[in-house]
Structure 1
Amino acid sequence: MARKAGNFYVPAEPKLAFVIRGIDGVSSKVRKVLQLLCLHQIFNGTFVKLNKASINMLRTVELYTMWGYPNLKSVNELIYKHGYGKINKKLIALTDNTSNAHSLGKHGIIT
């Protein structure tokens, strides 16, 4: 359809990335960017909304981090393997969805 109109089709870029910190002993500028990305320790990970500023920050720390675009399967694996939630002021591992649904059902978020 774009070819008929004489235009080019460019697929949309992902709007979310997952970043993991790798190496310790970095310069002060890189350390500040890592703090802005909430990557305070080695092997910490965070989800980052991609925009021009965050992409420039990722370029600054590209030697010390790994990042990629998450899919539903990898997000589920991360949450069920490493995720914790506070339910009744207690830290509980998120191994299945029943405790989440019960806790969020009280507030009308999940029925």
Structure 2
Amino acid sequence: MQLLRLRQLHNGVFVRLNRATVNMIRMVEPYVTYGYPTRDTLKALVYKRGHGKVNRQRIPLTDNSIIDSTLGEHGISCVEDLIHEIWTVGPHFKEANNFLWPFKLSSPLHGFEKKRHPFNQGGVWGNREEKINALVKRMN
């Protein structure tokens, strides 16, 4: 779980899908839910709960100067550039994603149902695909 930067309950991160990360997700699947967020969901998360990592400190993304000073050499100078880099999984995805602190989400509105079953059997854990957006909206 620490390799995915999921150290607390209700944390959220973005992951580039490749063979290694798919295998890691399969190992922790009974404990996490995942899917493919839309650009609007990504934008809402970054604007509402986005924090950057500057000198190992958690800094809220209140203005673009924080992003420009940290990620300026990679061509990322504002929040919209950061969102675009993560959404398109661009060449500087790793730097942009490591700059973002894991998102601390709230408990979902009206809670979870059937926590012991995977999502495809009516539960809450596992691959939600595009339905992850509704869950993130409840938790944001």
Given candidates 43, 60, 85, the residue that maps to 1:76 is 43
Structure 2 partner of 1:41:
8
Q: What letter is aligned with 2:19?
A: K
Q: CA RMSD in A?
A: 3.1
Query: What SS class does the counterpart of residue 15 from structure 2 fall into?
Result: strand
- In the TM superposition, what are the counterparts of 1:9-48 in structure 2 within 5 Å? 34-48=1-15
Indicate whether 1:58 and 2:25 are aligned. yes
Deviation at 1:70, TM superposition (A): 2.2
The equivalences for 1:83-94 within 5 A come to 83-85=50-52, 93-94=60-61
Structure 2, unaligned stretches of length 5 or more? Answer: 79-140
Identity fraction in percent: 44
More strand by share: 1
For residue 36 of structure 1, report the CA deviation from its aligned partner. Answer: 1.2
Matched residue count: 73
Classify 1:85/1:61 alpha carbon distance in 2 versus 1 (closer, same or farther; 3 Å).
closer
Structure of higher CA gyration radius: 1
- Structure with the higher helix share, 1 or 2: 2
Distance 1:50 1:61 in 2: 15
